[in-house]
Structure 1
Amino acid sequence: MAPHVLLTGGNGFIGSHVLAQLLDYGCTVCCAVRTQEKGDKILRDFAAQQSQISIRIVPDIVAPGAYHTAVQGTPAFDTVYHTASPFTYNNVGSNVEFVKPAIKGTLNLLQAVKDNAPSVKRVIWTGSCASVIDYDNLVSDPPRVYTEADWNPITWEEAVHGDPSKAYRASKLLAEREAWKFMKEEQPSFDLVTLSPPATFGPLRHSITSVRDLNESNSRLWRFCFNSTKDAPVPYMPVHTYVDVRDLAAAQLKAMTVPEAGNQRFIVCARQFDFQDVCDILRSNFGELGERTPLGKPGTRSLPDGAYSIDNSKVKQFLGAEFRSLEGTVLDVARYMLDLERKEKQAHTIY
């Protein structure tokens, strides 16, 4: 019998790709979302597989007992995926609003599974390389190579009083730290797998109607490389590594099916990337971007000397992870974004 899975955040960028992987694998999936509207949208986006999907409403993931009912499935759940913790700077009110839901939402879910879902064998938590990388020291001699043994040294004080990017990084760090602390202290019957991706690019699986609704990583790609000018400087972003969302979702599925993945921490990263490479790929393949994409210095490296990288050998060894080329990812996301832009312009013309 195919697994019965509870998935949080199935309406989001990463979560919708995870949902697609689970459905194609044959799972039945209960999606825990904040509103019925979000649940209805999932059902529309996955219309051909609606019979495999059910919806549970969890209005406030930080409320006491938020998930206690949601984790009680019929049939009982085998696996729980936690991807809910959106990354967008557009709608955050304060730094605490970034940090609190990530930590409390994670602990609420783990506690609910421990107390109310004895059938669950594994919880799979999606975090971020923000919990791994020290963003205050991006360049070093020799260049630093990060592994799963590394943790971002950011503090609570920096998170609360720093800029929103520090709050985001701390939210991922502290939520993952608390998750592993919970596992050590509570000794639940299930095991835990954490997956930490860097910048995550790729076409969306869930439907949106405007480039303004892109996830943060894709939105930066759009602003810097698609919606700029030929003479603009090639952008620099402190995240020097990336993964294609489809490869991340494939690793998420393996995190459920590979027994040896239990109680392991994984960085799911393809390789370093360079915005000059991205611009070169776009300008070589899309003539319409000639005046919109920075020219820079084609064929050169825009990353600073000593830029960090990530060792992805563990996720390859344990989960058999495979990664698309940067060119493949950029071409696919470019086709998606340009098509989205065309449809948005057509809609505005009609109305």
Structure 2
Amino acid sequence: MTAIKVLLTGANGFIGSHILDALLRHGLQVTAVVRSELKATQVRRDFPATEDQLNFVIVPDISAPGAYTKILKADPSVQYIIHTASPLNYSLGKTVEDFVNPAVRGTREILEAAAQYGCNVQRVVVTGSFAAIGNPEDMQGGGKVYTSQDWNPVTAEKLDARNPRLAYWFSKTLAERAAWAFMDECKRSFDLVVLNPPMVYGPLRHTVESLEELNVTTYNIWRDFLNASPDHPLPHEWVHADIDVRDLAETHYNALFSQAASNKRYLVTRGRICNQEIADILRETIPELRDRVPVGEPGVSSLPRDAFDVDGGAAMEDLQLTVRPAADTFRDLGKQLLLLEAKCLSEHWA
């Protein structure tokens, strides 16, 4: 039987590497899109025993016109596409366009290429974000329960380059709306599924050489919890909902084949979590962190009374989303961060 072939963008990233792992474990053939030969080399090292399943294509700029044309023209046997590549950089000094253009063009480019040259493509799965669902101007939400039906209401008129977080949220919203507009307007043979996770936590599947190379959410766990002290205040609550990256990756695999998911978007989450809960888990499951992680008020929720809630029931029903306990997520991540920290320190003093 001919193996199922998937084109995966962002394969060397935090989420993308876990998706790659899931695809390979399930026996699929993967063409991984990365931005340089150096990144391809690192992915080969992270997945050393899969040469017959895994090959690479270098795309330096995912938003460039025709970025994916050559890939699909050269290999018309691709049946599924998973698009995870998108910028996430809150560095000050960025313009709104620095967020919007790569996100929108990157998504649009891969859909256009699939429509024109992906003669066997059956489905495109896009990794979106809760940023396209929640309202970043009201993160308390008055007790609102977010579902897959909600959209971020922020408009371009409210954007300011001095608020890169708002620009990022807007870019994810605009990119997803552009994807659905493309599906409505253009002739194509495939359908679309968009997965919108909130905060994504869990251990790394890809190699990083320093703490500075960590993705944003993982670095924040190290900075605000592991690199702190018992009397340090808990970090400010922001998006108090999450998913384990390993569960998210498996959901991407399931999304390739679910008939019920055709042309739908999903909020992929296991539910609410607060920073006090994260601190409690780290202190309870990793004894060596008890003198480092903020104590706060153990067992007492750090969420405001009117904190928003999330409902991931649609993903659980249509995509067989299963979620592991938060204790597993943060225990596994905390232990891995301690090992990385020790490695960095030993190299610094070597």
Q: The residue matched to 2:195 in structure 1 has which SS?
A: strand
State the distance in 2 between where 1:161 and 1:339 align.
37
Q: Offset of 1:162 from its aligned partner?
A: 4.8
Report what 2:18 is aligned to.
17
Looking at structure 2, the residues matched to 90 and 338 of structure 1 have their Cα atoms a distance apart, in angstroms, of 26
Instruction: Give distance in 1, aligned partners of 2:317 and 2:93.
Output: 38
Are 1:122 and 2:117 matched, yes or no? Answer: no
1:11-50 correspondence runs (5 A): 11-50=12-51
Classify the secondary structure of the residue corresponding to 1:168: helix
- Contact 2:10 / 2:83 at 8 angstroms: preserved in 1? yes
**Comparing 243-252 with 50-59, which one deviates more in the overlay?**
50-59
Q: Distance in 1 between matches of 2:331 and 2:93?
A: 31
The equivalent of 1:107 in structure 2 is: 108
- Report the counterpart of residue 325 of structure 2 in structure 1: 325
CA RMSD of aligned residues (A): 1.5
Q: Deviations over 1:80-112 (max 9, x none)?
A: 110001323359733321111000111011001
1:177 to 1:162, Cα distance in 2 relative to 1, 3 A: farther
Contact 1:4 1:75 (8 Å CA) reproduced: no
Quote the Cα distance in structure 2 between the aligned partners of 1:10 and 1:333. Answer: 20
Identity, % of aligned positions = 41
Deviation at 1:140, TM superposition (A): 4.1
CA deviations over 1:185-215 (Å, ceiling 9, x no partner): 1131100000000000011111001121111
Gapped runs of 5+ residues in structure 2? none
Q: Check whether the contact 2:203–2:336 (CA below 8 A) recurs between aligned residues.
A: yes
The match for 2:195 is 195
Q: Is the CA contact (8 Å cut-off) linking 1:132 and 1:148 kept in structure 2?
A: yes
Cα displacement (A) at 1:287: 2.9
Q: Is the 8 A contact 1:32 1:70 kept in 2?
A: no
Matched residue type, 2:284: S
Tell me which moved more, 58-67 or 146-155: 58-67
Tell me how far apart the structure 2 counterparts of residues 160 and 27 of structure 1 sit (CA, whole Å).
Answer: 43
Question: Under a length normalisation based on structure 2, what TM-score does the superposition of the two structures give?
Answer: 0.96
Q: Which amino acid aligns with 2:109?
A: N
State the AA in 1 paired with 2:195. L
Report how far residue 31 of structure 1 moved.
0.9
Hey, what does 1:209 align to over in structure 2?
209
Q: Which position in structure 1 is the counterpart of 2:240?
A: 240
| TM-score under structure 1 length normalisation | 0.96
Quote the offset at 1:259 in angstroms. 2.1
**C-alpha separation in 2, matches of 1:121 and 1:55:** 21
Question: More displaced, 15-24 or 93-102?
Answer: 93-102
CA distance in 2, matches of 1:160, 1:184: 30
SS of the residue corresponding to residue 323 of structure 2 reads coil
Q: 1:257 maps to what in 2?
A: 257
Provide, for residues 131-177 of structure 1, a one-character-per-residue CA deviation record: whole Å limited to 9, x for no partner.
00002112244x10011110001112333545110111011100000
Aligned-pair distance for 1:2?
2.4
- Partner residue of 2:98? 97
**Amino acid in the other structure paired with 1:66:** A
| Cα 1:91/1:116, change in 2 over 3 Å | farther
Change (3 A) 1:132 1:139: same
Match of 1:220 in 2: 220
Aligned-partner Cα distance in 2 for 1:52–1:25? 11
The AA in structure 1 aligned to 2:95 is S
Matched, 1:68 2:66: no
Greater mean alpha carbon deviation, residues 50-59 or residues 329-338: 50-59
Identify which range, 198-207 or 52-61, moves more after superposition: 52-61
Q: Distance in 2 between matches of 1:269 and 1:112?
A: 30
Contact 1:34 1:58 in 2 (8 A): yes
